[in-house]
Chains A and B, each alone.
Chain A
Amino acid sequence: MAKQSSTQKELAQLERRLTELEGNSASGGQVKTQINELKQQVTALREELVGPRGVWQRVELARHPQRPYTLDYIKLLFEDFSEIHGDRHFGDDPALLCGMVRFHGEPVLVVGHQKGRDTKERVWRNFGQAKPEGFRKALRAMKLAAKFGRPIFSLVDTQGAYPGVDAEARGQAEAIASCLREISRLPVPIVVTVTGEGGSGGALAIAIGDKVNMMENAFYSVISPEGCASIMWRDATKKELAAEALKITSEDLLAMGLIDEIIPEPEGGAHRNYQQMGKLLDEVLVRSLAELRGLSTEELLARRYDKFRRMGRFFQLA
């Protein structure tokens, strides 16, 4: 079973104490005030978790400018990083990077979106929004890893695929479609972690895998809350409502069975303590890889197929 987030744990603890106190029939005035206080805390915590404002805070945490990005995790978790550039057709996309690394001594491939730290780098990296050449590069590198039997770690953090003229002209849709189809049958273990923003097709293009984990404050959505608000409410300021309605938090996705595990974050979010975040991620990656290691290629691919095959509920009418 997956781990609960720290806020959820706190909530569960408070709820337990509340039922304990309420069960205590011989309750004096002091206990009653304690119960009331606890009740208030519980409502506040619930609001913090699932209300529009709470969800929006999570979105802001996922987009925090100091949040660790792929290159930070590469420094924290891996050794001997050497980047693989270019899609061999058009160019190199700095918004999505791939590289050979060693993970506890073992060669693996890392693929991940990369946002910039300062304005100059942000523009250069196109705010982590990949273009077709980025997706084609990622697929090329992943096929290379598959050819030599190397596992793949994918780190997802993007607003979405770049919606621009040049990206369209070079086949953004075709690039993503190819990633989806090809990655679904790559014969090596793939562990996906949504580290920040899981923005629609641009995220999913590198988010098909045997295990899909999400960091506690990351979100994963079919459309940005702003985009949804401007389409459905015709008002971009309704983004908080949209964020809540879209059910995009790690807890929501786990509850719907769309991800496998939530990776807890340090107190206050991943940006507060890089070292600790790195350790927490490392632990999950080690465990995930060990689980997948025991499977034959046939089992691995059959399980991957079934994993996504089960997603989505519907009614069967007579």
Chain B
Amino acid sequence: MAWFRRQKKGIERAASEESKVRTEGLWKKCDGCRQIVWKKDLDANLSVCPRCQHHYRINAHQRLELLFDAGGYTEHDAGLASTDPLKFVDTKPYDQRLKAAKKKTGMQDAILFGEGKLAGRPVQIGAMEFAFIGGSMGAVVGEKVTRAAERSLEAKLPLVIVSCSGGARMMEGVVSLMQMAKISAALARLDDARVPYISLLTDPTTGGVTACYAMQGDLNIAEPGALIGFAGPRVIEQTIGQKLPEGFQRSEFLLDKGFLDAIVPRKDLKSYLSNALDFLSP
């Protein structure tokens, strides 16, 4: 029991939240050059730093809007969702991770496929969503890519896939690994039928995705400065017990080693793809 009790109410705090001038989100310190960039400048420049050309990650929807013509696109297989085949639980159950990812991205899984026109040419484009469990590939991504390849085969429709992924989805175990086999076989058929397939690798593309469709294009191209590899840098550092040199596993490194056909800045992507498809189509 207290001896004294406050009789009057204390001074009420003013609702200050709204009265403040909002500055957050207007400016951004560039990850590349550490300069302060006006957010609107960044947005107007396709999320590429106007000063140092650092390419920021864009989401799957933005990517499709960037590549398709103004008429838009029709989405394919939007309703495919994971079944959690292993009932996988680590520190958190996989189905909870799935729910959180769906809420965050508004997507059912980590890839979005659309059919529409690129520079007037009918084409199918897939874009991976890194915000969905690291853009990882499980049964759904595997199935969507395979279906896309089969649709392209059927309709002789050029295929473009924009990769952005940490690799196979661990929480679906060997099922994810087998997606690599499934997709590769479908892309081999596309190859046999001489239907063009272009792979665009963006930051980051690693693991099972790189060792599968990201490296199986008629052309494999990348955005500048993207991290591309099989093993992630941390795993390699653990293996060799040393720090990796600057620029290791970046697009420029891969180009130098002969594993990319071109590095294409974001603003030139559409014209590059258009020209390439001209060359690749009979």
Contacts and interface: CB of A to CB of B under 8 A. Distances in A.
Interface of A: 161, 163-165, 167-174, 176-178, 180-182, 184-185, 200-201, 204-205, 207-208, 220-223, 227-228, 231-233, 241-242, 245-248, 253, 256, 258, 304-305, 308-309, 311-318
B139 A308 contact: no
B239 interface: yes
Interface in B181-222: 181-182, 184-189, 191-192, 207-208, 210-216
Nearest to A310: B182
B236 A185 contact: no
Contacts of B182: 308-309, 311-312
Q: Which 9 A-B pairs have the closest CB atoms?
A: A312-B139, A163-B231, A180-B184, A317-B79, A232-B90, A173-B210, A184-B185, A177-B215, A173-B230
B175 A201 contact: no
A45 B236 CA distance: 39
Most chain B CB within 10 A, of A161, A204, A318, is at: A204
Interface string B65-85: 000000000000001111101
Contact of A172 (B85, B231, B239, B258): B231
19 contacts: A163-B239, A171-B215, A172-B211, A172-B230, A176-B211, A182-B188, A205-B211, A208-B181, A208-B185, A221-B173, A227-B235, A231-B170, A246-B170, A247-B174, A256-B175, A311-B139, A314-B80, A316-B80, A316-B81
Given A312-B178, A313-B85, A177 B185 contact: no
Contacts of A232: 90-91, 170
B229 interface: yes
A253 B172 CA distance: 12
B210 to A, nearest CB: 4
B88 to A, nearest CB: 6
B230 A168 contact: yes
B240 interface: yes
Most B-side CB within 10 Å, residue of A180, A207, A231: A180
B140 interface: yes
B89 interface: yes
Contacts of A180: 180-181, 184, 211-212, 216
A98 B187 CA distance: 26
Given A245-B86, A314-B82, A220 B174 contact: yes
Contacts of B158: none
B185 A305 contact: yes
Contact of B185 (A204, A228, A242, A304): A304
Given A221-B174, A314-B139, A233 B184 contact: no
A312 B231 contact: no
Nearest to B81: A315
A173 B229 contact: yes
Contacts of A165: 236, 240, 244, 248
A163 B80 contact: no
Contacts of A182: 188
Contacts of B161: none
A152 to B, nearest CB: 16
Contact of A161 (B79, B138, B189, B230): B230
Interface string B153-173: 000000000000000111011
Is the interface on chain B under 10, 10 to 19, 20 to 34, or 35 or more residues? 35 or more
Nearest to B178: A311
Contact of B208 (A168, A222, A245): A222
Given A173-B211, A314-B80, 19 more contacts: A168-B249, A172-B211, A173-B214, A178-B216, A181-B188, A181-B191, A222-B168, A222-B208, A232-B170, A258-B178, A304-B185, A305-B185, A305-B186, A308-B181, A309-B186, A311-B182, A312-B182, A314-B82, A314-B83
A253 B67 CA distance: 40
Interface in B84-121: 85-86, 88-91, 108
Contact of B236 (A168, A178, A233): A168
A23 B228 CA distance: 63
A279 B231 CA distance: 38
B146 interface: yes
B176 interface: yes
B83 A315 contact: yes
B123 interface: no
Contact of A174 (B79, B177, B259): B259
Contacts of A176: 211-212, 230
Contacts of B91: 232-233
A309 B170 CA distance: 20
Interface in B214-260: 214-216, 228-231, 235-236, 239-240, 244, 248-249, 253, 257-259
Nearest to B229: A168
